[in-house]
């Protein structure tokens, strides 16, 4: 096979330099796409290159990206959570309900995160303890969690969140830098470190590549997966906090369809949907790409439905192109 010729005894750490590996990576291709979209947008609309407009545009992806970071780990480990948008609905509803009983901002934060954590634990028990496939479990809880919100709220909405609560989704750190943008950066760094610099992250990759070998190597596979579901749950709770704060109200239809955009972001970021590979920098760039596309199209007054067509085409195109190249290269070679 591709065994090296008998190298006396010394085996080098790496064959290719770090630079050449980085240059050939998915992330660089994606970054090029992002730059291209940015440039096209600059020409397409005179309103694009405006600091405040660009700042507003970040709301297109910050909340989704927070969940996408945790989702990336989960998908790399070979599982998925499709209930994230419904967790947002349930967490937001719980906050609205608590508001009726006079909860303050601190309590609201606590409630949102706790509901997220509990929803994550609920998914985790079915997947890791009962061994059910996560796609089925979370399709079920997707309906379940949002269903509870509809039962509580019906056609109503909760309003009247306290002024201090608005800080999460409407606040600015400095100049045009939003509070959500700060959270986005902080979470990107935290998840990047977890995935790429810790033993836990290494276990995630090992499980995604081969759960049996990982188990046989002494990795506590089910425990790692349990934690990953807790993480997506908590991040969904945090996203619920930001989104509710930004909108200033809770409706049961809040964030509907967001789970697919989160998964799209993760896959666009180069995470293998079958598990085993992917990176947080990839997801960060994918978040910018999706944000730029939606914002650019928005400035051109393209309606939302058409926008989702573009996102879908972008996803399929970016994924299919390298595969197409490979097939064409093989054709040429033979």
Check binding of 214 to another protein (CB under 8 A): yes
| 244 Cβ neighbours under 8 A, 6+ residues apart | 92, 95, 96, 112, 161, 169, 250, 254
Using the minimum distance from each CB to another protein, give the nearer residue, 272 or 308. 272
| 293 Cβ neighbours under 8 A, 6+ residues apart | 37, 307, 310, 311, 314
Judged by CB under 8 A, which of 164, 213, 249, 256 binds another protein?
Answer: 213
The least distance separating another protein from the CB of residue 193, rounded to whole angstroms, comes to 8
Residue of 72, 77, 70 whose CA lies nearest to 211: 77
Q: Are 103 and 216 in contact (CB under 8 A)?
A: no
Helix (H, G, I), strand (E, B) or coil at 173: strand
Check binding of 219 to another protein (CB under 8 A): yes
Q: Are 294 and 281 in contact (CB under 8 A)?
A: no
Q: What is the rounded distance in angstroms from the CA atom of residue 286 to the CA atom of residue 299?
A: 20
Provide the token pair at 324.
Answer: 């197409």
Judged by CB under 8 A, which of 7, 130, 174, 333 binds another protein?
Answer: 7
The least distance separating another protein from the CB of residue 57, rounded to whole angstroms, comes to 35
Check binding of 295 to another protein (CB under 8 A): no
Using the minimum distance from each CB to another protein, give the nearer residue, 279 or 294. 279
Q: Helices 84-100 and 258-268 meet at what angle, rounded to 10?
A: 130
The least distance separating another protein from the CB of residue 215, rounded to whole angstroms, comes to 6
Judged by CB under 8 A, which of 19, 102, 199, 304 binds another protein?
Answer: 199
| Stretch touching another protein by CB under 8 A, among 88-96, 178-186, 217-225, 320-328 | 217-225
Using the minimum distance from each CB to another protein, give the nearer residue, 1 or 305. 1
The least distance separating another protein from the CB of residue 233, rounded to whole angstroms, comes to 21
The least distance separating another protein from the CB of residue 183, rounded to whole angstroms, comes to 23
| 143 Cβ neighbours under 8 A, 6+ residues apart | 86
Q: What is the rounded distance in angstroms from the CA atom of residue 295 to the CA atom of residue 212?
A: 44
φ, ψ of residue 275 to 5 degrees: the values are 95, 165
* Residues in contact with another protein, shown as a per-residue x/- string from 312 to 331 under the rule CB under 8 A: --------------------
Provide the token pair at 117.
Answer: 């954590």
Check binding of 212 to another protein (CB under 8 A): yes
The least distance separating another protein from the CB of residue 201, rounded to whole angstroms, comes to 8
Interacting residues toward another protein by CB under 8 A: 1-4, 6-7, 9-15, 193, 197-202, 205-206, 209-210, 212-220, 276-277
């Amino acid at each position: 096979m591709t065994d090296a010729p008998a190298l006396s005894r010394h085996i080098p750490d790496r064959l290719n330099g770090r630079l050449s590996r980085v240059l050939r990576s998915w992330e660089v291709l994606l970054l090029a796409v992002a730059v291209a979209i940015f440039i096209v947008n600059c020409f397409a609309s005179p309103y694009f290159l405006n600091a405040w407009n660009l700042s507003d545009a970040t709301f297109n992806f910050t909340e989704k990206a927070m969940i996408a970071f945790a989702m990336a780990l989960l998908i790399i480990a070979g599982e998925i959570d499709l209930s994230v948008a419904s967790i947002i609905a349930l967490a937001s509803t719980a906050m609205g309900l608590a508001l009726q009983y006079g909860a303050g901002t601190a309590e609201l934060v606590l409630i949102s995160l706790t509901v997220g954590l509990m929803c994550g634990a609920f998914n985790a028990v079915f997947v890791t303890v009962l061994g059910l496939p996560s796609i089925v479990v979370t399709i079920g809880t997707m309906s379940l969690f949002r269903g509870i919100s509809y039962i509580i709220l019906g056609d109503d909405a909760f309003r009247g969140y306290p002024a201090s609560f608005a800080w999460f989704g409407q606040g600015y750190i400095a100049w045009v830098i939003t509070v959500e943008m700060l959270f986005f950066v902080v979470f990107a760094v935290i998840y990047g470190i977890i995935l790429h610099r810790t033993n836990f992250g290494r276990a995630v990759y090992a499980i995604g590549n081969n759960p049996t070998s990982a188990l046989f190597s002494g990795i506590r596979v089910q425990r790692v997966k349990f934690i990953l579901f807790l993480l997506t749950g908590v991040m969904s709770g945090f996203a619920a906090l930001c989104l509710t704060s930004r909108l200033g109200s809770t409706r049961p239809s809040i964030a509907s369809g967001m789970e697919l955009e989160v998964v799209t972001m993760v896959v666009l970021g180069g995470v293998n949907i079958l598990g085993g590979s992917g990176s947080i920098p990839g997801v960060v760039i994918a978040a910018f790409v999706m944000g730029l596309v939606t914002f650019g199209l928005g400035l051109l007054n393209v309606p939302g439905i058409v926008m989702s067509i573009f996102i879908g085409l972008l996803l399929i195109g970016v994924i299919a192109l390298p595969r197409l190249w490979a097939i064409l290269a093989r054709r040429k070679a033979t």
